[in-house]
Structure 1
Amino acid sequence: MVHSGIDRFEKRLPKKFYGAKAGLVIHPASVNRKLVHTRDILLESKKIKITAFFGPQHGIFGNTQDNMIEWEGFIDKQTGLPVFSLYGKTRKPTEEMLKNLDILIIDLQDVGARYYTFIWTMALCMEACKEKAMPMIVLDRVNPIGGHIVEGPVLMPEFSSFVGLHPLPVRHGMTIGEIAFYFKDKFYPELDLTVIPLYGWKRNQWFDETALPWVMPSPNMPALQTATVYPGMCLFEGTILSEGRGTTRPFEIFGAPFIEPERLVKKLNEFKLKGVFFRPLYFIPTFNKFSGHLCGGAQIHVIDREKFKPFKTAVAILLAIKELYPEINLWREPPYEYEFEKLPFDILAGSDRLRREIEKGKSLKDMESWWTKECEMWAKVRKKYLLYD
């Protein structure tokens, strides 16, 4: 039976933190295995006193539906405590936000991809706590797509942004607690960091093998299937193509008004990708790109998730569309996630190399070879921070 960090909080909290005034960074998926929210659990704790809440992108209640929608802090009606936004005027806790706190506690469900912004909210919290000499506690959670598969390019530092502040491959295969140890060691060594680890989780376990309840960590991450394709299909946020936002299957569905579904699927099948089936379809997004317009495209059906490579699949789709519609400029212009100069696709990919090679029509095999080498080098770094077998 798998237990998250919040399930183990009362027994594993170091005594030095007893009686501390704590800030709590949470979102909708911050729940224990019985679906009780971390906020309610820690408000009732006799060991610490919660005095403020902090929320990442989409807010503590997941109330901003689309991406890149800022929100402002407010006073929580139930408790009268302040709720500070870390996705608005600032993404890093200010000295004013932290002034009445002794510790900061983070309980955020990640989905296993570098672009998902919650780990970068954590990184900026770590930086703020380091500067204030304030301890931080991270309540660990499982990587829903497993901790045994790594894929995609490693971020180049010059392409740092809020979808990647520090070097990580796209599919990093780490828990948020493991990432916290990596960040501390490499970037915030002075930070007093405590990670309350998982119990009973194995690296090769997917979320649906843990018996833990799935709660949407963000509004467009409705299910494990979404998280499975996300390490590849989030790249489409950096293109003019719809990544399926505004449909009931975001990231599994993709397309654009100019795409002919059957023609595209025929081209995709030439790649002979493992573990995936492409089904041609039409759809009309209700918001985001092409809202209210008929789009042609496909739905990704993952038929073997151990063999399926989401990043490779997304690149294959882009190569196919580029070949079929060479007159189309696929790349979205900035700004994107607080980056105003570099192309959104480049900061998502972690460099401009992938985009340049797609434009040149380089083979999928050649491209996969270089990001695989980057992952192999990264694995040697990553090994030091792994907490689970």
Structure 2
Amino acid sequence: MKVKTGLMKLDSHVQEIKGNVAYLCHAASVDENYRHGIYKIKSLFGDRLKKLFSPQHGLFADVQDNMVESDHFFHSHFQLPVYSLYSETRKPSAEMLEGIDHVIVDLQDVGTRVYTYIYTLTYMMEACAENGVEVIVLDRPNPIGGVAVEGNVLDMSFRSFVGRYPLPMRHGLTIGEVAVMAKSQWDLNCELRIIKMDGWERSMTFLETGLPWVLPSPNLPNPESAFPFVGTVLFEGTNVSEGRGTTKSLETVGHPKIKNYDLLESLQIGFEKANLRGFILRPVSFLPTFQKHAGVPCHGYQIHVTDFALFKPWRVGQLLCQSFYHHLGENFVWKQPPYEYEEKLLPIDILNGTDQIRHWVESNGDFQKLEEIENQGLESFHNMRKDMLLY
């Protein structure tokens, strides 16, 4: 085993953790043998484990879509209450934290600003600061690596549950490093402890860690899909399918009216001009079984990553969106609110963290303009980020 996660190293920290604990976890909170972390936490802390918390998609990663909430329930096998933090609240209440001295957070993030688990972490930190509870983060790898940073920094005018803080779309941080940044830069001043990984290097993809992959949400079935996700998640703000309802969700995009073979050459020319490499677009047709265009044949592309170090998924996703917008004409539609509890702003704008990119798409702007938008705030983020790195 190349990498040991925070969960795998928890044994040596048990004596330092006094009092009652709660465990914020999900389906991917497993050890090196695919055994769920609840078993380990229960074996280490016994009756001191009092409560479980779950993020979006539920404890079992079985809940599909945004704003489809999970209920609180009592887990009959573990004999523990489970409080959903994607329910009537995203922030745990004082009552939920009553009797708890430490909350152990063990979530597999995917390294993209709009993935909500880092915001469940920050809401937990906020609540724990208010209630005198320590947060202990069991760190896990960023599956798309900890080197590359990509995309514009969130404009706080477009803050939402898919972007609470000024991060670029691909932030290059582990969830433990996000917690350090939250305490240092975002005034979430709870008592915080990070149990670091052993053996993880920033250049590693998840495939290089030697760790088992369990899907952290229903539509990321393998670690490879976390790479194109950085760009394909943008299509949640449109009527273009991001492949949900297929076996290659978030690696595949399409629409019933796209003429994928006709469009391919111009896309390839655009990617070449922008020096975007490390991937191949393969024309595909697919039939979504649910969500957008369910039961209607769609035509588009599967994104095959050929070089993870060269691939720039955010830029690829933006150029695809711009091309589809002008190719489809009146058949292309921006999704309307509500989306992730935002009732007024367009979903594409909260996903992008700005409305400038939507205007760039609509005006058919050149790639240099997209780069200018991307660079806004990136230098200051890099300067701040380097002091947050744990590895």
TM category (shorter chain) comes to over 0.9
Name the SS for the 1:44 alignment partner.
helix
TM value normalised by structure 2: 0.96
Q: Residue in 1 aligned with 2:150?
A: 151
Structure 2 residue aligned with 1:361: 364
**Closer/same/farther in 2, CA of residues 263 and 73 from structure 1, 3 Å limit:** same
Distance 1:295 1:329, change over 3 A: closer
Alignment match, 1:42:
41
Cα distance between partner residues in 2 of 1:318 and 1:191: 40
Q: How far off its partner does 1:164 sit?
A: 0.7
In the TM superposition, residue 14 of structure 1 has moved relative to its aligned partner by 6.1
Aligned to 1:274: 277
Query: Percent identity at matched positions?
Result: 42
1:165-223 Cα shifts (integer Å, max 9, x gaps): 01100000000000000001122353100010011111101111110111111110101
Is residue 306 of structure 2 the alignment partner of residue 307 of structure 1? no
State the distance in 2 between where 1:321 and 1:190 align: 44
| Deviation of 1:46 (Å) | 4.2
Instruction: State the 1:375 CA deviation.
Output: 2.4
Q: Matched residues in 1 for 2:339 and 2:138: separation? A: 30
> Structure 1 CA distance, aligned partners of 2:210 and 2:177?
21
Match of 2:9 in 1: 8
- The alpha-carbon distance between structure 1 residues 180 and 266, as it changes in their structure 2 partners (threshold 3 A), is same
Q: Return 369-378 or 22-31, whichever deviates more.
A: 369-378
Q: In the alignment, residue 262 of structure 1 is paired with which amino acid? A: Y
With normalisation by structure 1, the TM-score equals 0.96
Aligned: 1:337 with 2:336: no
Matched residues in 2 for 1:345 and 1:201: separation? 34
Determine the structure 2 residue equivalent to 1:212. 211
1:373: Cα distance to partner? 4.9
Q: Which moved more, 1:260-269 or 1:147-156?
A: 260-269
Rounded Cα–Cα distance in structure 2 between residues aligned with 1:14 and 1:191? 21
Quote the residue 2:105 is aligned against.
Answer: 106
How many angstroms apart in 2 are the aligned matches of 1:333 and 1:38? 39
Partner of residue 375, structure 1: 378
Task: Look up the SS of the partner of 1:97 in the other structure.
Answer: helix
1:287: which partner in 2?
290
* Corresponding position of 1:176: 175
Please identify, of 148-157 and 59-68, the stretch whose mean Cα deviation from structure 2 is larger.
59-68
Equivalent pairs, count: 386
| SS of equivalent residue, structure 1 residue 61 | coil
Residues 22 and 48 of structure 1 are in contact (CA less than 8 Å); yes or no, is this contact kept in structure 2?
Answer: no
Deviation, 1:33, is 1.6
| 1:27-50 residue CA offsets vs partner (Å, 9 max, x unmatched) | 011011222211110101148821
Instruction: Could you tell me which runs of 5 or more consecutive residues in structure 2 were left unpaired when the two chains were aligned.
Output: none
Letter aligned with residue 8 of structure 2: D
Contact 1:130 1:188 in 2 (8 A): no
Which amino acid counterpart does residue 216 of structure 1 have in structure 2? L
Please tell me whether the aligned partners of residues 315 and 364 of structure 1 are also in contact (alpha carbons under 8 angstroms): no
**Which of the residues 342, 350, 366 maps onto 2:353?**
350
The answer to whether the 8 Å contact 2:253/2:301 transfers is yes
Aligned twin of 2:232: 233
| Cα separation, 1, equivalents of 2:246 and 2:66 | 14
Q: Alpha-carbon deviation of 1:294?
A: 0.8
Letter of the aligned partner of 1:292 in structure 2?
G
Question: Could you tell me how far apart the structure 2 residues matched to 1:260 and 1:190 are?
Answer: 52
Q: Secondary structure at the match of 2:128?
A: helix
Structure 1, gaps ≥5 residues long: none
Residue 322 of structure 1 is matched in structure 2 by 325
